[in-house]
Structure formats: C-alpha cells, structure tokens
C-alpha cells in the first residue's frame, strides 16, 4: 500500500490519497481505519498544543500525529476488545510528544521553568488587567529581578527558529523571521548621528567635571584602575572614591539629559547646587558646535561602559 498524508495549512485537516494497488483485505481495513479517524489527529493536536510553546509548528504536530495514526492502524488487534479510537488516541498523542522531544534540545528543567513563568504571567495579567512588569513577575516568583532576567535568558537561548519561520500576526502577511532581523553591520544614518552626538556630549561632560571627579571616572571606567589604586593616587579612602564616582555619574547623567530637554518654560534656578548644575549643563551645550559634535572626534573613544551607566539618550 502506498499512503500519502498531507496537511492543509488553513484548517490543519489532513487528507489521504490511497493507491489503487491496495487490494489486500487487511490493507483495505487499515486504510479505512486511517481515513475514518483522521479528524482524531486534528482533535488531539489541539488538545496537546496548548502545553507547547508558540514557536512549535502545529503542522509538524499534525504530521507526527498522522504517522502515529498509521502505526496504530497497522498494530490494532480487534480481538483484545479495545476500541480503535481509544487505542489510536494513545498512539497519536505519544507520536506527537516524541516528535516534539526529539526536536527539542533544551533540558526538561528549562521547559518546566517556561511553563511556570507562563502561568505566573497569565495569573498576574488576569489580576492586574494588563501585562505585568518584570519586577512584578519577579516578586510573584519570589526572586530578584536580576535572577529573573537570567532565567529568561536561558529560555530565549532554548528556542531555535528557522529563518523562514512566519512571524506575522495575520495569515495574509507572510512575514518571516529573516525579514525582521536587524542587521548589526548596518546602522541607520539618523541613529549614527544620534550616537555621535551622545558620545560628543559625554566626552565634553567628562572633560568639564571637577578635576578629582574626572580623574575617578577616567581612571575607573576608561583606564580600568581599581578603587584602591585611585584612593592611593588621590590620597583618600576607598569609600571616598566610591562616593566621588557616584556623584560624578549623577552629575554626568543630569548634565547630558539637560541637552535633550526643552527649558523654555523652566522655572528660575535657585540654590547654589542647582545653579552649579545648570551652569555645568550650559557649558556642555556650548562647548562644541553641532557640526563638530556629530563628526568623529578624538579622545575618550572607549566610553560605552560609561554611557551604559548613565541611561540617557
């Protein structure tokens, strides 16, 4: 017997084509059992699919289930008194689970973690009426936010998708994964200009810091000196170095952030510390012309680590 199993991607309903060579009575019985119970495959797929991640291809589940149905029809023994539908359902479900496990290289602990996170997110979404934040999920799980981020990284690394995997929400739009992946080697001109401007502001802001704070920032982040070395060089304690580093980062953050904020309706600056910060921000803004700022300037080029700590832009 030649049996071909195909899957309609629209309704996930398999169809069969039976060879005219199938004249043997036993083969005819097997073919009849398969044809009559093909809807059972679709029914079981919808039952088990809810337990699998979204990236698992439902068509693949249908194909695996159809093969399980074929195997059930070949092995069915009516004399044992078990209805074929019950016997076939176990075979179909087992074939689907085996196929998913064979294609999944992540350990069971990761999959268990994924199900746990999904349940927590669904429970919080129902309770809050919105998508829960990372901190809310972490609190519900009883872990730190950093630990939850590491757990999610493990889950993301466990998912392997083909480049032709469809990511569009609507069936009319055939958008694949390769269509939406960002090319890290190509940077949009506007993003490149914004990055250059931010780096220029950061270079100017560091240069305009008070001398001891500038020495701490440059020494700690750019020259990779330890707090102990900087404390010995400046003649202060390590705790004082840590304090100066914190103060300098806050000064940098506020000074650079002021370059992106409109101050037309700002209240008059009062207080010595507020005036000092306002003067510092103004000095950053006038230190270079716009054309010079977006050109590839020299000095303090390796500043990405400082930029990440400021969280501005």
Looking up residue 301, the CATH number of its domain turns out to be 1.20.140
What is the average per-residue pLDDT within 215-240? 91
Asked whether residue 194 falls in the same domain as residue 158, the answer is: no
Percent of the chain scoring above 70 in pLDDT: 66
Q: How far is CA 230 from the centre of its chain?
A: 39
DSSP 55: T
- Return d(Cα 241, Cα 246) in angstroms, integer: 9
Which residue reads 């000074």 in tokens?
A: 255
What is the average per-residue pLDDT within 88-116? 73
Burial 255-268 (b: 16+ CB within 10 A, else e): bbebbeeeeeeeee
Asked whether residue 211 falls in the same domain as residue 161, the answer is: no
Q: What's the confidence (pLDDT) of residue 233?
A: 92
Residue 294 has pLDDT above 60, yes or no: yes
Q: Which positions ≥6 away from 60 have C-beta within 8 Å?
A: 99, 103
Asked whether residue 193 falls in the same domain as residue 269, the answer is: yes
Q: Pick 2 or 311 by higher pLDDT.
A: 311
Asked whether residue 97 falls in the same domain as residue 113, the answer is: no
- Return d(Cα 153, Cα 136) in angstroms, integer: 18
- Return d(Cα 78, Cα 179) in angstroms, integer: 52
For the chain, the residue count is 313
Asked whether residue 273 falls in the same domain as residue 298, the answer is: yes
pLDDT band at 16 (very low <50, low <70, confident <90, very high): very low
Last residue of a domain, one of 73, 103, 133: 103
Q: How far is CA 159 from the centre of its chain?
A: 10
- pLDDT tens digit string along 249-265? 999 999 999 888 866 55
Asked whether residue 142 falls in the same domain as residue 195, the answer is: no
Mean pLDDT of the chain: 76
Q: Pick 117 or 112 by higher pLDDT.
A: 117
Asked whether residue 34 falls in the same domain as residue 93, the answer is: yes
Q: What angle do CA 127, 133, 138 make, to 5 degrees?
A: 90
Asked whether residue 264 falls in the same domain as residue 227, the answer is: yes
Asked whether residue 36 falls in the same domain as residue 98, the answer is: yes
CB atoms within 10 A of CB 281: 20
Q: Which positions ≥6 away from 32 have C-beta within 8 Å?
A: none
CATH number, domain containing residue 81: 1.10.1740.10
Last residue of a domain, one of 56, 83, 103: 103
Asked whether residue 55 falls in the same domain as residue 114, the answer is: no
Last residue of a domain, one of 54, 70, 103: 103
CATH number, domain containing residue 131: 1.10.10.10
pLDDT band at 243 (very low <50, low <70, confident <90, very high): very high
Q: What's the confidence (pLDDT) of residue 9?
A: 37
Split into its structural domains, the chain has a count of 3
CA proximity to 29, closest of 88, 68, 62, 76? 76
Q: What's the confidence (pLDDT) of residue 293?
A: 79
pLDDT band at 245 (very low <50, low <70, confident <90, very high): very high
- Return d(Cα 199, Cα 299) in angstroms, integer: 10
- pLDDT tens digit string along 132-188? 888 888 888 888 888 888 777 766 665 555 555 555 555 556 666 656 666 667 777
Asked whether residue 55 falls in the same domain as residue 127, the answer is: no
- Domain of residue 222, residue span: 189-310
- Give the containing element (helix H, strand E) for 26: helix 25-36
Distances from the Cα of 155 to the Cαs of 81, 101, 158, 162, 201, in angstroms?
45, 16, 5, 17, 38
What is the average per-residue pLDDT within 31-60? 80
- Return d(Cα 104, Cα 166) in angstroms, integer: 19
Asked whether residue 243 falls in the same domain as residue 288, the answer is: yes
Phi, psi of 5 (to 5 degrees): -115, 125
Q: What's the confidence (pLDDT) of residue 216?
A: 93
């Amino acid at each position: 017997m030649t049996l071909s199993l195909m899957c309609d991607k629209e309704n996930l309903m398999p169809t069969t084509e039976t060879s005219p060579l199938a004249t043997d009575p036993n083969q005819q019985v097997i073919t009849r059992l398969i044809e009559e119970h093909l809807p059972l495959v679709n029914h079981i797929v919808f039952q088990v699919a809810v337990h699998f991640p979204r990236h698992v291809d439902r068509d693949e589940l249908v194909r695996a289930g159809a093969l399980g149905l074929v195997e059930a029809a070949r092995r069915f023994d009516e004399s044992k008194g078990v209805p074929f539908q019950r016997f076939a359902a176990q075979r179909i479900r087992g074939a689907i689970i085996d196929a998913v496990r064979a294609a999944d290289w992540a350990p069971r602990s990761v999959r268990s973690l994924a199900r746990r996170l999904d349940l927590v997110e669904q429970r919080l979404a129902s309770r809050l009426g919105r998508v829960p934040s990372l901190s809310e999920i972490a609190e519900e799980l009883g872990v730190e936010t950093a630990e939850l981020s590491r757990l999610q990284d493990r889950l993301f690394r466990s998912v392997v998708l083909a480049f032709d995997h469809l990511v569009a929400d609507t069936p009319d739009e055939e958008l694949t994964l390769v269509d939406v992946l960002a090319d890290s080697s190509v940077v949009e001109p506007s993003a490149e200009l914004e990055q250059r401007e931010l780096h220029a502001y950061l270079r100017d802001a560091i240069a305009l810091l008070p001398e001891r704070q500038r020495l701490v920032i440059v020494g700690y982040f750019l020259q990779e000196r330890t707090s102990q070395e900087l404390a010995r060089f400046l003649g202060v304690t390590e705790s004082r170095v840590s304090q100066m580093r914190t103060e300098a980062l806050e000064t940098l953050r506020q000074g650079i952030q002021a370059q992106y904020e409109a101050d037309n309706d700002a209240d008059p600056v009062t207080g010595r510390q507020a005036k000092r910060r306002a003067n510092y921000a103004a000095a950053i803004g006038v230190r270079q012309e716009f054309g010079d700022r977006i050109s590839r300037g020299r000095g303090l080029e390796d500043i990405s680590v400082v930029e990440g700590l400021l969280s501005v832009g």
